[in-house]
Amino acid sequence: MTVAEMVTADASFSRKIRVMQKFFGLQVTGKLDYSTMAVMNKPRCGMPDVANYHLFPGEPKWTKTTLTYRIDKYTATMSKSDVDRAIDMGLKAWSDAAPLSFVKTNQGEADIMISFESGDHGDSYPFDGPRGTLAHAFAPGEGLGGDTHFDNAERWTPGANGFNLFTVAAHEFGHALGLGHSSDPTALMYPTYKYQHPIGFRLPKDDVKGIQALYGTKHSGQKTSVVSESPHPAHCHPNLSFDAVTALGNELLFFKDRSFWRRQTQLTTLRANSIAASFPQLMANVDAAYEIAERGTAYFFKGPHYWATRGLRIQGPPRLIYDFGLPSIVQKIDAAVHLTSSKKTLFFVGEDFYR
């Protein structure tokens, strides 16, 4: 047996060679042939500024900026809410970098139909059981275009074991939006699996360049006039809603964007204050707040962090919401309330609550 025969006899090696050949546009033989060796030995460009992303031939892209998605079939290995979160965060990675938004639907035909499928599932790209192909997505377009399928034979997880659904979904959505593979090893679109922690994930530079090459930069030409003329929103506006409300001593605090209002129980006037001036650590956009009156303490939540106060004074550095036992995939909470009678605190996240 020659060396070449030995290496081709190893199926996973051959598979890797095939992936590499496909990536570099070589004839896909699965064998370590001369042109493949030549590519392997070629010096790689070390210049950080060279774009390494690839678009699909013909550069298909969506011609609208709001896309619908629907999770049509779930998997048995992960809870429905963990799947929803991984998918949402996978899409958010892209909508944070380009002027795209994604709207979830639960019925009818969405632009991006998402499902977990086993073996042959009717699109002439059957899945292959555990490992091998993990998922695939169709380039932008009508019908199957944008649709994203995950191999139900994989052990999908919200964490670092098995295959992390967020990681693979974010990669697949790159394809569904029109990106091919990148030759930049730090890119999400680089064709090797590397677990990415969903919380605080930011799209690597090369992927940002790729998505912006297709859809432009976020807010280009639409940003300047959005900041409202009055520094604080009018508190009587009929559409006003609050980000968070909590009692604090004998006052009620209402938070909205960069402002908060203090309402003393015996007073009826409300005066807007700047959050940044009173609570510089919070700056703006508080997610949730609650008070434990017996302790004279309130807690403020923003993203994965929370702060404790004594009166109107924040005590100490921010801490992580996982201290409360929230699952690590939760990136922010929507609301929190402390029930004095049962001494329990409820945290609301999407359609779930934790206690």
User: Active-site residues: which are they?
Assistant: 172
Count residues near ligand TQI (CB under 6 A): 15
How far apart CA 112 and CA 173 sit, in angstroms, is 9
Sheet holding 251-256, edge to edge: 244-248, 251-256, 259-264, 271-274
27 binds ligand TQI (CB under 6 A): no
What would the two tokens of residue 184 be?
């930049």
Name the one range near ligand TQI by CB under 6 A: 68-76, 167-175, 203-211, 342-350.
167-175
CB of 251 to ligand TQI, least distance (A): 50
Of 123-131, 219-227, 287-295, 325-333, the segment contacting Zn ion by CB under 5 A is 123-131
From ligand TQI, Ca ion, Zn ion, none, interface partner of 123 (C-beta below 5 to 8 A by class): Zn ion
- Verify binding: residue 181, ligand TQI, rule CB under 6 A: yes
* 112: Cβ contacts below 8 Å, ≥ 6 apart: 67, 68, 69, 70, 102, 146, 147, 148, 173, 176
Length of the chain: 355
Applying CB under 5 A, which residues contact Ca ion?
Answer: 128, 132-133, 151
Q: Are 52 and 23 within 8 A, CB to CB? A: no
- Tell me the C-alpha distance between 262 and 255, whole Å: 9
123 near Zn ion (CB under 5 A): yes
Q: From CA 167, how far away is CA 195, in angstroms rounded? A: 6
Instruction: Name the one range near ligand TQI by CB under 6 A: 43-51, 190-198, 255-263, 275-283.
Output: 190-198
Residue 202 in 3-state DSSP?
coil
Residue 126 near residue 156 (C-beta atoms within 8 A):
no
Q: Is 128 in the site for Zn ion (CB under 5 A)?
A: no
**Which residues, 188 to 217, sit near Zn ion by CB under 5 A?**
none
Of 206, 183, 188, the residue nearest 23 (C-alpha):
183
- Total binding residues toward Zn ion, as defined by CB under 5 A: 3
Shortest Cβ distance from residue 304 to ligand TQI (Å)?
24
State which of residues 85, 149, 175, 258 lies at the interface with ligand TQI (CB under 6 A).
Answer: 175
DSSP letters spanning 324-345:
GT--TT----SEEEEETTTTEE
Q: Report the residue number, 180 or 249, with the smaller CB distance to Zn ion.
A: 180
Which does residue 135 touch among ligand TQI, Zn ion, Ca ion, none (CB within 5 to 8 A, set by kind)?
A: ligand TQI
* Residue 149 site contact among ligand TQI, Ca ion, Zn ion, none (CB < 5 to 8 Å, cut-off depends on kind): Zn ion
Sketch the per residue contact string, 130 through 169, with Zn ion: x for CB under 5 A, - otherwise: -------------------x--------------------
Q: Given the complex with ligand TQI, which of 196 and 331 has the nearer CB atom?
A: 196
- Which residue from 2, 41, 106, 192 is in contact with ligand TQI, where contact means CB under 6 A? 192
* Residue 172 identity (one-letter amino acid): E
> What span, in angstroms and rounded, lies between the C-alpha atoms of 306 and 96?
23
Closest CB 162 distance from ligand TQI, rounded Å: 13
Sheet holding 297-302, edge to edge: 288-292, 297-302, 305-310, 313-320
Residue of 44, 128, 155, 193 interacting with ligand TQI (CB under 6 A) = 193
Q: How far apart are the first and last CA of the chain?
A: 64
Residue 120 touching Zn ion (CB under 5 A): no
Contact between 207 and 201 (Cβ < 8 Å): no
Please give the residues from 242 up to 301 whose contact with ligand TQI meets the rule CB under 6 A.
none
Q: Does 171 bind ligand TQI (CB under 6 A)?
A: yes
Give the interface with ligand TQI as residue ranges (CB under 6 A): 22, 133-136, 167-168, 171-172, 175, 180-181, 191-193
